[in-house]
Structure 1
């Protein structure tokens, strides 16, 4: 990044790109959806089944909403095949794949923070 770019020099709160990035991944299920899509293309039912083990699972309405938000943000793509019944598949976009090192960094930070809190 350039000398005057980046989080530390982002003094105009309305234009903070870190905040924008957090809004993209904010949501109870988004990180889990992204982790599933890292393994490859998934259908809606595959995602719903994979997330069923987490607490009480995700409702169809919430999963649909989170997928639409990720698609609107350009992180995932949605492909509808004209079949009966219609087949819909979700995949990470190039922008979605660019999130991987960021999420790995957040995971590593979380591990360090957890260790620092341990007695």
Structure 2
């Protein structure tokens, strides 16, 4: 491999590297919201609800850095910024949609199992 194509991996396990990034509290929720279309920052804040402004900004920067999300700034006053899934983000969400559907379909049973476990 030519020197200019050499990639140095901080994390030798690709599964752990990707899951560490998208497995935090907010990334998957942001990606899921964007899977329905392009959104502005304020739309993401409203759609996710309980995320702080600082955490949403940090999460969007990390997702953009990894190539899951694209950010488009419009030269307007006030500036308008829109976020979208990149092709990489869309391909990722195609894989995750089944897990999201499974979580939605089975959430009630999981909560009931937790309660039963806690009650002994």
TM range (shorter): 0.7 to 0.9
Q: In the alignment, is the contact (CA less than 8 A) between 1:27 and 1:66 conserved in 2?
A: no
Q: For the aligned residues, what is the CA RMSD? A: 2.4
After TM superposition, the score normalised by the length of structure 2 is: 0.72
Moved over 6 A (4+): none
After superposition, the C-alpha distances for 1:59-78 in whole angstroms (9 at most, x for unaligned) are 11110000000000000000
After superposition, the C-alpha distances for 1:47-103 in whole angstroms (9 at most, x for unaligned) are 001111xxxx11111100000000000000000001100000000000001112331
- Equivalent residue pairs, number: 102
- Alignment of 1:81 with 2:94, yes or no, is no
Q: Pick the aligned partner of 1:20 from 8, 12, 17.
A: 17
Tell me, what secondary structure is at the counterpart of 1:96? helix
Deviation at 1:31, TM superposition (A): 1.1
Which residue does the alignment assign to 2:84?
A: 91
**CA 1:16 to 1:105, structure 2 compared with 1: closer, same or farther past 3 Å?**
farther
Counting only pairs closer than 5 Å after superposition, residues 1-119 of structure 1 correspond to structure 2 as 14-52=11-49, 57-107=50-100, 110=103, 118=113
Tell me, what secondary structure is at the counterpart of 1:15? coil
Which of the pair has more CA radius of gyration?
Answer: 2
Flag structure 2 segments of 5+ consecutive residues without an equivalent: 1-10
